[in-house]
Structure 1
Amino acid sequence: MTEIVDHTVTHSTFVLEHTYPVSPERVFAAWASKQAKTPWFVALPEGASVVEPLDLDFRVGGKERLAVSMADGVEIVYEGCYQDIVSDRRIVATTQMYLNRKPMSVTVATIELTPIEDGTRLVLTEQGAYLDGLDEPKYREAGTRDQLASLARYLKKSS
């Protein structure tokens, strides 16, 4: 007898805004190199560990990859590909995430940086397909919000 699997997909879009008291060039630079991105992007919850460190090729067509193991042993792999980069202003990337080697989501993320009087306004828009109940938009939004807060701490520390 063949096992019947109910494959589901949930589509969702979220937009997050954050202001940073530094120039767009400084915010952009925090995304553009492995050395700068690792401290804030790989901010793991307690008990989690890095299986494969962040690998980053920041250019149009370039890839990035990170694999982590959560405290409960679940492995999460993040893979991205840069589709568009406008220095100091915009980054567009497609991403795929895997949960224990099963596809959990596919997204398009756009990061827009706008100079404001006291720094930079960042607007991150993520459009996603969340697969088979392995990921949910609310979890991705919360995780991305945490990363943007981690970026703020990183920028403050590196000032």
Structure 2
Amino acid sequence: MSSPLTHASFTIERKLSVPPSRVFHAFSDYETKKKWFGGPAEWVQGESSLDFRVGGRETGVGGPEGGFVSTMHAVYHDIVQDERIVYTYEMLLNGERSSVSLCTLELDADGQGTILTLTEQGVYFTEEDQVAGRKEGTEGLMDALVTYLEGH
């Protein structure tokens, strides 16, 4: 019997001292995104790609040395320059689909800076991939983004 489905959502907010255009660029430019988007320091990065346009796709593969393999496949549905990005993505753990999510990134000017609001709505298929762990991992990615942008 398969695991029961879990539906959940969460919102993460970060304040950055850089303008929305810099935050948007960090998501939309492949070379820039590779510098901050990749998981914890101990992860080995595998295949990655970014076709940042409505209908475009993104892939990211990685995981701890000798451990599980995490794969993300995304499709971009709505992009408004320097304001928002809406995409869906599926996560696979060792090749098995573990979740599918709808994610919205909103970038609001705040003086010279930006308030970034990320809202994720997901369905989780396995015991191993649940909302608490996803939120923790996404918070880590947003912290990596803040560290990257505040340091450059």
TM-score relative to the length of structure 1: 0.91
Give the Cα–Cα distance (whole angstroms) in 2 for the partners of residues 150 and 44 of structure 1. Answer: 9
The equivalent residue for 2:15 is 19
Aligned amino acid, residue 100 of structure 1: N
The equivalent residue for 1:61 is 55
Q: Pick from 37, 49, 54: which aligns with 2:44?
A: 49
**Conserved in 2, the CA contact under 8 Å of 1:112 and 1:122?**
yes
- Structure 2: where are the runs of 5+ without partners? none
- Structure 1: where are the runs of 5+ without partners? none
Give the Cα–Cα distance (whole angstroms) in 2 for the partners of residues 105 and 153 of structure 1. Answer: 27
Higher radius of gyration, 1 or 2: 1
The equivalent residue for 2:144 is 150
1:34 matched to 2:30? The reply is yes
Aligned amino acid, residue 113 of structure 1: L
After TM superposition, give the deviation of residue 157 of structure 1 in Å: 2.1
The equivalent residue for 2:82 is 88
Aligned amino acid, residue 82 of structure 1: Y
The equivalent residue for 1:79 is 73
**Conserved in 2, the CA contact under 8 Å of 1:9 and 1:133?**
no
Aligned amino acid, residue 133 of structure 2: Y
The equivalent residue for 1:102 is 96
After TM superposition, give the deviation of residue 91 of structure 1 in Å: 0.2
**Conserved in 1, the CA contact under 8 Å of 2:55 and 2:77?**
yes
After TM superposition, give the deviation of residue 118 of structure 1 in Å: 3.7
Give the Cα–Cα distance (whole angstroms) in 1 for the partners of residues 7 and 64 of structure 2. Answer: 25
Aligned amino acid, residue 37 of structure 2: F
Question: What is the RMSD computed on CA atoms of the aligned residues?
Answer: 1.2
SS of match in other structure, 1:60: coil
TM-score relative to the length of structure 2: 0.95
